[in-house]
Structure 1
């Protein structure tokens, strides 16, 4: 049976899309420390953390009952726990624990529960399965596979503290992109009515805005569902990720096209074979960036998708694209009239904000506490990208814009156009 590329992308991205306050999974307890990290959850100060867990064996077992524990430790205790591989040491460090009595017939255990009041500061809590008595070990190193369901709430909200504020921010962004989409769509419609053959950045810009709009709608719907059940709708989460990647590909491709002189100097980019190669490379780079999220997904050290190595690699890729953009700008500046310089300055600012916002916020995020990094990167990057796109839309859509004065339409040399 042949596996298509779309199916491969789905399989690779799916684990990254299942981040939730209600977590289901399967694991085996480590044979060295006899513990296994399974989740992390951040809680604000003066809040209550509620934790529920149940487990079962995937296969029948040779004892009537087996006892395992869920260890709960805050970030300070977790740092000390990493210094020891002994299960007993980690159990002593745990502030709370939940004892789970598992049946041998593969049936789910009863729900074990714990309630933790956070008082003095925001804290990140780590959850570990522990079997210090090695009851799940029957053949020396053969640890039985355990299924688990874990639910965590932060003052009855399924959002971990680092996700608080993400939903209203995305709703605000949705309103902004709705305005930009309507403005760009109306401008494109009016211009298409005036001429039969059409070349303008408005078309790819509109495509990028539609993709961003769809991405935000799906993201908001997913987060609303997530706030109720801690799971959301994984299909919405999956497609919003795909739409986000496609929007970035479209917008960056447009910026590169303009930086090469499309509609600014005479010549058809479609005749340049290398541009097709650039589009393929741009597409491949962004798909690769999307797939980076699955590396070490769900591990204790990851506070957002691009923590550590993945983020560094993303920055290098983004800087490579930006460097190529600047190279094109340098070349085209030699061939455009002086009247185009005003547009190019604004365009360079817009493109620079869009391409460099994530690297800048990613680097600065390491000055903050780990549980604050996600919000800092998300809010900052989203806000700066909205500014970038707003500048670009205003440059292209306004009648007296710098783009209209700089483009070939003002010279009447685009197909079926008259000089403005």
Structure 2
């Protein structure tokens, strides 16, 4: 590819016309103007300016400073806009116009692409839940009695969802090791990652109106990668009896690109076999579109791959999570984000957090710059993923990265 022909992507590019993820960007010459962009290879398409040039009826939605108005417009609009974008970038007669609105990726600053309404985190990997159960309840039943009957989740903090690349300050809080008689205050000693997949809600629902699995596509706009950082020592001391709080709420990183759900059609796959009968609202064995997604995730620490969790191994699907999240009548809002929980597979190399990878610190991860049980200041974690696309192609998901900074200087 040359600068003269930016529309000609190399074979195998993960961000070609079958992908077209959405983001929000600024440029150095206009740092206060946030614009909706669409990634195309090593470029960002200024979607609002292109829409205006082509006389699109959706120009107003694409000239907003974030994705929320577009997401709220509903699936028919999402499909129409996606068809327009694909035409502008692939039809020969549009090449002369659309190339004027392509900006090299390295020349933009990416921002949080949508305003987060509510944030819910699930616990949908049987392999992860089983490993955690064995670590914390050795000799006991690893899964709780309810785990095979409902997708377990909790409400997180939407205000601390940050875009990929945002530094993560080591959290402080109360910790109490098993051999200590009383808690102490200070920086987390067991700071961890959680490799997850997030689902972004577009169209809202009404209060008191459960959303069935069959309506999943009508409400979910797209998919992003998530790193739900976790302070294991703070969490272990605080979470009984109510659950995660300060050990999780300090930061949740999301990718700067939201992949449209329609871009992942070729990645649809059957979830693992159910071992327990499900209640009607969670039942998904009657046919129809497979609820699983074949996403191949890679986790690197300081540039070295430490895990490759398979999302296809997740026991609970995103459609089941959405159905469970609303079955009590809770409403959906545009910008709601719900995440899968840590993605782990059956093999050691497929575990999506350091708690599992090191078996709570017993088996350190070997890196060229030394061993790791949990994260040290200066460590950088990068999570990437791809999915099968049409005709043997691959669809890339935007990476999510974060570097650990020392704890802020404050006293408890």
| Greater Rg over alpha carbons, structure | 1
Shorter chain as denominator, the TM-score bin is under 0.3
| TM-score between both structures, scaled by the size of structure 1 | 0.25
| TM-score between both structures, scaled by the size of structure 2 | 0.26
Greater relative CO, 1 or 2 (CA 8 Å, sep 6+): 2
